[in-house]
Every structure is written in C-alpha cells, then in structure tokens.
C-alpha cells in the first residue's frame, strides 16, 4: 500500500462523494419543491390560471421553498455531524460499547488490548482507545475517528469469544488499514448527508401521523386528502433520496473492503487469520449481525455487514468472495466443520505469561546500521509488515511492569512523559529535578525518578513506543491539565540549557498527538524553490544530528536537497554554514515544519523520500535520524513504523 496515494485517493473520494451527495440533495430539493408547488397550485389557482402564469407569479415563493428544504437538509446533516464531534468514542457508545480498562483482568479483553497495542507500535501511530460491544454476539468490528491520533477500535463480544488470536489479529489489522488508508474520516462524513436526506422522509411520516388524527368532515379536515398526498409524496421522495445515498455509499465502501483485507494480510503475513474470521462469520448462526438500532446506519464502517441489506445496497462484497480472494482453495463445505473455542481457553493464557516481567532481550541499541534504499522509508509510511509486528511485539512484551502500568494510568502517564524528557547525565538532570519538585511536589517527583531509573536500563527504541502506549491515558486528562503538562514538558527539556534532539522530538510528537489539528483536504502544491528557507532548515537539522563528521553531514545535506530540486543544492561552504545550528535551532525548525506540514500528499511523499536520501547518505539510519524522521512524518500526517533492525529481536 502506498500511504500517500491512499490518502490522495481518500481525499478524491471525499470530493467525489461531496458532488454525488450534492446531486442527490439537489434532486430531493427539486422533488420536494415540485410536490409542495403542485399542492399550492391546486389550492390557490382560481379561474383556470395557466400553470406557466402561476409559476411566474409565485416563482419567488417557490425559490424560498427550495432554499428552506435545502436548509433543512443541511441543518439535519450538520446536527448529525455535530453529534459525532467526539468521533469514534461517540459511535462506539451509541452502539453499546464499553471501553476496555488498561488494567483489565479478563483474559479476552487483555488479549484484545495486546493485539491493538502491538499493531499501533508496529505502524507508528498512537494507540487507539479500545471498546467492546458487550451485548453483540455476532463477529464484527470497526475503527472510527477523524484522525489516527483520535481513533477508536471496537470489537464485538462475539468476536472475542469466537476468534483465536491470529483471527482476531487479522480483524484488527483490517481495521488498522482503514485508519492508515484515511477511510475513518470519510466514514463519519458519510453519516451527515445520509441523515440530512432521511429527514425529508421523517417530516412526511410526521405529517401523515398528525393528519390521520383529524376527521375528514371537520373544518380542519377539508384539505386532508391533499395534505395526505403531499405527505405521502415527501415520504416517497425521502425514501428515494436515501436509497440513492445508500447506493453511492455502497459503491464506495465495497472496494475499500477488498483493499482493507489485502492490507491486513500484508500487515500480519497471515492470510489464514482474517480468512478464518470470515469463515466463522459465514458458519456461525449469529454471523456478523448487530442488535443495535443504528447498525444499518454505520454498516459501511464495520468489518462485515451488521444488518441484512439487499445486495444492491450492500456495503461489503459477498462473504464467500472475500474468503476466496484470501484463500483460493476454499471449499464452502469447510464451514460445516468449524468449531468455536470455549471462551477463556486456547492461547489467552499466554497474554500475561512472561510479559512485562522484565527484559527478555534487547533490540540493537543506538547507531545500529542497516541498509535502506532511499525509497524504502516513504514506502513504509502508513504501512507495517511481519518484521515491524515482530519488533513491536518484542518491545511490548519486554517492558518492565511499572513502565507499562504507568503508560496506561490516567494519573501516572503525565509523569512518565516527563520522565522520558529527563537528561541522561546527572548534572543537567539535577536542574530538571529541581524544576519538577517545585511544580509537582516530592511524591510525584519520586515516581518520576523511579520511571527514569527504569528507562535508563532500556534502549532508546523503547522511548517512542512508550509514548504511543501512553497517548490514550494522556487524552483522558482534562484539557487545562494537558496544556499544563505540555507547557511543563517544554520547560523541562529547556531546563538543562542544552536541547537534546530526543527532547525536541518527544515534545513535538507529544504535541502533535495530543493537540492534533483538523486535516486539510484541499492543499495546493508549491514549487520547491518557494520553500527553500524551510527546506534548508529541515535538512540541516537532520544532517547535523545524524552525522558526527562535518564532511558526511555536508554530503547528506546536499544530496537530500538535490533529490528534491537540483537548483536547491547549496555549495559545500554554504552547506557547512547551514549545519552550524544556532542555540534556538528548534524554534526555526518548528516554524519550518509548520509551513511544510501544509503540503499536499504528493509533495509530502517527495519530501519524505528526499529526507531519506539525506539520512541514508552514509549507508545507515541512526536512532537520532529515525526519531527526527518520525517528527517529520507526524507533521506531514503520515505514521512511520519503527526503523530499527529486526536482527536480535526475540519473539
């Protein structure tokens, strides 16, 4: 999967859907105006007034009816989208979901959390919040949210109990592909216009009910037949409009499900996992059905259909067809032999055995060299595979218990964030401790010191993994507290007088994950020479921190800028001058990244490829370079998997 191409495709789909839904709304508005206009003509036309003359006399009034109808649809759509301003959490709770607590003792829920967290680390995105639809016996799941930083992954109780770990991993990988492909925001956006069109039918039904209570012979009932015809017409128009919207939604959704299935296989390298989950849906009586009243409305968001829908309006391809694409040798007779494991048996016990009890092996520490082609990093953006998942599982399972628990604790996560920012040397760290003691008190400072001591035993590759794990707990803090801790984090990283690269990366990634801006759907490309100052600042920071020797740093800076546009290539002397970073280099880099972060996807891909050319100029990527690339990717809106060598990883 090409992340940038997928994001561009998602934006094009959004614009195309906007036009299609606009046409559907226009058709509904014209139909409603025609119905109300015909009724008005029947009531007011006297003396055989010709329809054309009547239209000329009442054109302004009909225009007001059209505007009012469009306004009603728009207000209803806006109301629905406003009700979903909390994104995935609101949808999960509307469907009866309960959030899985971090310290859950239930083995099936812990297995689900472990799978979700491993995949988040492997793909380089903040860990989503995890929900279980406890009352749902069918096998289903969905991911929802406006951005990856705000995503929610929800799974039914039936899926937890019926699927083994590999099958559950396949289902979760399918949902992660929707997060990485940019489908989630589009899925939520589809709910607004559909609800807006539905409101016309609701109005017609309300009129029918109220008119039915009036006696035909009464004074109020004289116009009842005409009102009934109008109401019936509104109901029909509403139904046709909804059917049209559902046809549009279904056509878009079906193709995305094939892509998500393929991405899940690419992620896990286990086609049998997701294929096995689909087979169980086909074999079990509960299938993938949801009991929730809103199941049809959100059907396009689900792993499998949540309600019985006619094939013409189906948001998912036929189940057997999806299975055959994953398992060409599939025989439908296999479904008769499938068995469902009893809850709490099988591999669930392994979810806690040996996990987080201590270090089970180290990944290669800083400066580990491994070959990457310049195109490899952009190709891996928004994508993860078996190697990344194996690394993530190792990182996840080898965390000391106190750090793992702190990352999941609403109270302790901010303290862990501050511990991550502490300087490794005793003298500068003493000044940071003095600052923290004055702000937080001795008790919380003691917790930070405990976390810092544990972190000193870990390799640097654990730092961003811990930050990813801590995001859900951090977001549970009230906004004023989050603002306070982010401001305190900035003061801590500057308290020692020398800003280390990781301190900068930590504060920038934390701010991006906790204070994400809304994505811009329409971004205009700009010629690279117009961004020369910003590009020089970004490439100089990468080259200066990624290379110990000035000659190598100069070569990296010049190679990276030349990969973007040869006219940007500085002379060796000019490159050397750019590499002499001023004490406030991070502020200049912040300003540069704020502007580069508005690039469209195609240019973002070119920029990331050029940054990778600079980082791999000496044939290796250091931990410092990988962390700075993670910052660039966070700004460009694309997740980046861990860039650590898989050698030495213990599963």
Length of the chain: 651
What gap in Å lies between CA 576 and CA 554, rounded to an integer?
6
Strand partners, 97: 133
Domains of the chain: 3-88+186-248 (no CATH), 89-176+260-337 (3.30.2010.10), 354-516+526-651 (no CATH)
Q: Per-residue pLDDT averaged across 362-376, rounded?
A: 41
Cα 95 to chain centroid distance, Å, stands at 19
Burial of residue 308 (number of CB atoms within 10 Å: 0-12, 13-18, 19+): exposed
What gap in Å lies between CA 523 and CA 638, rounded to an integer?
15
Burial of residue 385 (number of CB atoms within 10 Å: 0-12, 13-18, 19+): middle
Catalytic residues: 175
Confidence label for 459 from pLDDT (cuts 50, 70 and 90): confident
Structural tokens at position 268: 């896990």
What gap in Å lies between CA 390 and CA 102, rounded to an integer?
22
Q: Per-residue pLDDT averaged across 138-159, rounded?
A: 88
Where helices occur in 501-622 by DSSP H, the ranges are 501-514, 532-546, 550-564, 572-578, 585-596, 601-615
What gap in Å lies between CA 639 and CA 635, rounded to an integer?
10
Tell me the percentage of the chain whose pLDDT exceeds 90: 18
Residue-wise pLDDT for 322-368, tens only, equals 888 888 888 887 777 765 555 554 454 456 533 433 333 444 333 33
The residue assigned the tokens 């009603």 is 72
Q: What is the pTM of this model?
A: 0.74
Answer whether residue 484 shows pLDDT above 60: yes
More confident residue, 480 or 211: 480
The highest-confidence range among 8-17, 308-317, 566-575, 625-634, by mean pLDDT, is 566-575
Closest CA to 145 of 170, 168, 127: 127
Q: Give me the DSSP letters along 608-621.
A: HHHHHHHHTTTS--
CB atoms closer than 10 angstroms to residue 130:
24
């Amino acid at each position: 999967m090409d992340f940038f191409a997928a994001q561009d495709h998602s934006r094009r789909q959004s614009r195309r859907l906007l036009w299609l839904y606009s046409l559907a709304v226009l058709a509904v508005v014209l139909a409603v105006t025609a119905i109300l206009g015909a009724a008005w003509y029947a009531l007011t036309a006297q003396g055989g007034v010709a329809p054309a003359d009547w239209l000329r006399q009442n054109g302004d009034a009909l225009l007001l009816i059209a505007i009012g109808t469009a306004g009603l649809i728009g207000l209803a759509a806006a109301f629905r989208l406003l009700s979903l301003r909390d994104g995935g959490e609101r949808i999960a709770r509307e469907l009866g979901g309960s959030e899985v607590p971090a310290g859950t003792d239930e083995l099936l829920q812990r297995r689900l959390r472990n799978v979700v967290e491993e995949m988040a680390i492997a793909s380089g995105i903040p860990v989503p919040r995890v929900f279980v639809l406890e009352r749902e016996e069918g096998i289903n799941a969905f991911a929802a949210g406006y951005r990856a930083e705000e995503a929610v992954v929800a799974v039914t109780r039936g899926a937890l109990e019926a699927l083994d770990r590999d099958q559950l991993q396949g289902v979760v990988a399918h949902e992660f592909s929707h997060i990485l492909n940019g489908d989630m925001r589009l899925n939520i956006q589809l709910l607004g216009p559909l609800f807006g069109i539905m409101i016309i039918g609701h109005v017609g039904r309300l009129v029918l009910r109220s008119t039915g209570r009036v006696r035909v012979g009464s004074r109020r009932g004289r116009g009842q037949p005409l009102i009934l015809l109008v109401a019936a017409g509104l109901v029909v128009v509403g139904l046709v409009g909804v059917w049209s919207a559902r046809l549009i939604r279904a056509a878009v959704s079906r193709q995305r499900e094939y892509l998500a299935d393929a991405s899940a296989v690419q992620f896990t390298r286990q086609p049998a996992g997701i294929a096995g989950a689909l087979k169980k849906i086909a074999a079990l009586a509960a299938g993938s059905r949801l009991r929730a009243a809103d199941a049809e409305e959100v059907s396009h968001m689900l792993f499998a259909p949540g309600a019985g829908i006619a094939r013409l309006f189906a948001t998912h391809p036929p189940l057997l067809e999806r299975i055959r694409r994953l398992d060409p040798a599939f025989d439908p007779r296999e479904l008769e032999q499938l068995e469902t494991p009893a809850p709490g048996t099988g591999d669930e016990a392994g979810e806690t055995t040996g996990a987080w009890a201590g270090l089970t092996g180290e990944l290669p520490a800083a400066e580990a060299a491994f070959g990457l082609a310049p195109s490899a990093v952009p190709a891996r953006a928004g994508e993860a595979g078996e190697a990344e998942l194996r690394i993530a599982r190792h990182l996840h399972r080898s965390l000391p218990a106190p750090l793992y628990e702190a990352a999941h604790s609403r109270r302790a996560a901010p303290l862990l964030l501050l511990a991550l920012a502490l300087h490794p040397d005793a003298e500068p760290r003493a000044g940071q401790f003095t600052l923290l003691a004055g702000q937080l008190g001795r008790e919380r400072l003691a917790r930070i010191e405990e976390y810092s001591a544990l972190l000193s035993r870990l390799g640097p590759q654990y730092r961003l993994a811990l930050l990813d794990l801590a995001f859900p707990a951090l977001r549970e803090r009230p906004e004023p507290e989050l603002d306070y801790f982010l401001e305190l984090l900035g003061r801590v990283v500057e308290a020692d007088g020398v800003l280390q690269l990781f301190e900068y990366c930590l504060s920038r990634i934390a701010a991006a994950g906790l204070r994400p801006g809304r994505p811009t759907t329409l971004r205009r490309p700009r010629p690279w020479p117009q961004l020369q100052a910003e590009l020089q600042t970004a490439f100089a920071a990468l080259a200066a921190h990624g290379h110990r020797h000035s000659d190598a740093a100069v070569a990296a800076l010049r190679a990276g800028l030349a990969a973007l546009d040869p006219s940007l290539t500085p002379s060796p002397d000019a490159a050397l001058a750019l590499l002499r970073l001023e004490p406030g280099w991070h502020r200049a880099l912040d300003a540069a990244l704020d502007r580069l972060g508005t690039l469209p996807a195609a240019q973002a891909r070119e920029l990331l490829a050029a940054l990778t050319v600079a980082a791999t100029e000496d044939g290796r990527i250091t931990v410092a370079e990988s962390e700075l690339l993670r910052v660039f990717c966070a700004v460009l809106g694309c997740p980046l998997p861990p860039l650590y060598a898989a050698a030495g990883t213990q599963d």
